[in-house]
Amino acid sequence: MSRVRLWAGLAATAVVGGVVAVFNMLPASAATCAPAWQASAVYTGGATVSRNGHNFLAKWWTQNEAPPGNTGVWQDQGSCGGSTPQPPTQTGSAGGCSFPAWVQGRNYVTGDIVKFTDGKYYIAEHDNPGYSPTISTWYWDPYTCNGGGGGTTPPPNPTTNPPSNGAFVVSEAQFNQMFPNRNPFYTYNGLVAALNAYPAFAKTGSDAQRKQEAAAFLANVNHETGGLVYIVEQNTANYPHYCDTSQPYGCPAGQAAYYGRGPIQLSWNFNYKAAGDALGIDLLRNPNLVQTDPAVAMKTALWYWNTQTGPGTMTPHNAMVNGAGFGETIRSINGSLECGGRNPAQVQSRVAAYQRFVGILGVGVGAGSLSC
């Protein structure tokens, strides 16, 4: 894995607050089976299904992953038998949501439902210490009430080719094809959740240009993380070196806290501050969010891609939408160490990934130079 150098010149029972959300889901000892699992169905966190004489509880969104699975999405609720129960109902509301307000810093567990400051409701998909539902979207999913009962609105099926309605140009199936051995931390949902931070990304120009930009971003991410395998920088000896003490804000998280993290391997205290300021997240004091929250991790990579030129002359986003070519994205990310013949093998690694990814998306490599 290469090291990206970001330059110093860069400037269910849910108990919440005494309110209990109760679902008519069978306890592990119950003899009645939930509706049978179906491969084509979309299940969100809190859904209960049965398979092979056992009930299973979905911890987060899933489709076409048979219980018990091997990713941890299904929690075995024990053996069952008998008839199918009634759909889940929600107590504490009369035809609508009635859940407590979200509190920053409060511990929440999977299944907790809160009302956020935007007036909308969210359900915890993973235990968390009070992360923001609109920022830490790996931990929270939107929650909507369907009249007299509780329930979540299922998302569109991402395994098909995305529709031409503004959806991300890479489907989940294509993402999985690009990264067959990826770390479970790097999720398709985390990537999609990060896109709202930079709406111009992969949504500028023709359909081919949009796919080329998405492929270029993912090809560089592929190189930096060994195929979305690595979350943090592997050379721990470098960790203490990324604290620039000349900055007035210093390194409040500790001298060794600003090592490379995430898809673009964000490093240095000043980059954590700049990215955090741009994203509205205090990454200077909480740099670990980049290695614990998939959406935040992807947002830092998109921050660099869309706003920073690094050792190049343009942002990687501009390189792709203005026809400069994939080679200029390499220059902007790690050009001082790779371009101009400095490390042709590393450049070729990025180029090969880009060529493979545009092939998966069914487009050509586009204008401009592939290399730098």
Could you give the residue numbers annotated as active site? 224
DSSP string, 256-296: T----BTTTTB-SHHHHHHHHHHHT--TTT-TTHHHH-HHH
Q: How many CB atoms lie within 10 A of CB 165?
A: 6
Is there a cis peptide before residue 68, judged by omega within 30 degrees of 0?
yes
8 Å CB contact between 325 and 216: no
> In the numeric block, which tokens belong to residue 217?
């971003």
d(CA 366, CA 358): 9
Q: Under a CB-based contact definition with an 8 Å cutoff, are residues 93 and 9 in contact?
A: no
Please report the sign of the dihedral spanned by the C-alpha atoms of residue 245, residue 293, residue 236, residue 180: negative
Q: Which of the 8 DSSP states describes residue 88?
A: P
What distance lies between CA 59 and its chain's CA centroid? 16
Contact yes or no for 340/372 (Cβ under 8 A):
yes
Strand positions, DSSP E, the chain? 13-16, 19-22, 42-43, 48-51, 54-58, 62-63, 74-79, 113-115, 121-124, 140-146, 149-151
List CB contacts of 352: < 8 A, sequence separation 6 or more: none
Tokens of 206: 């023709």
Single-letter residue type at 50: S
Tally the C-alpha atoms within 13 A of residue 257's C-alpha that lie toward its C-beta.
19
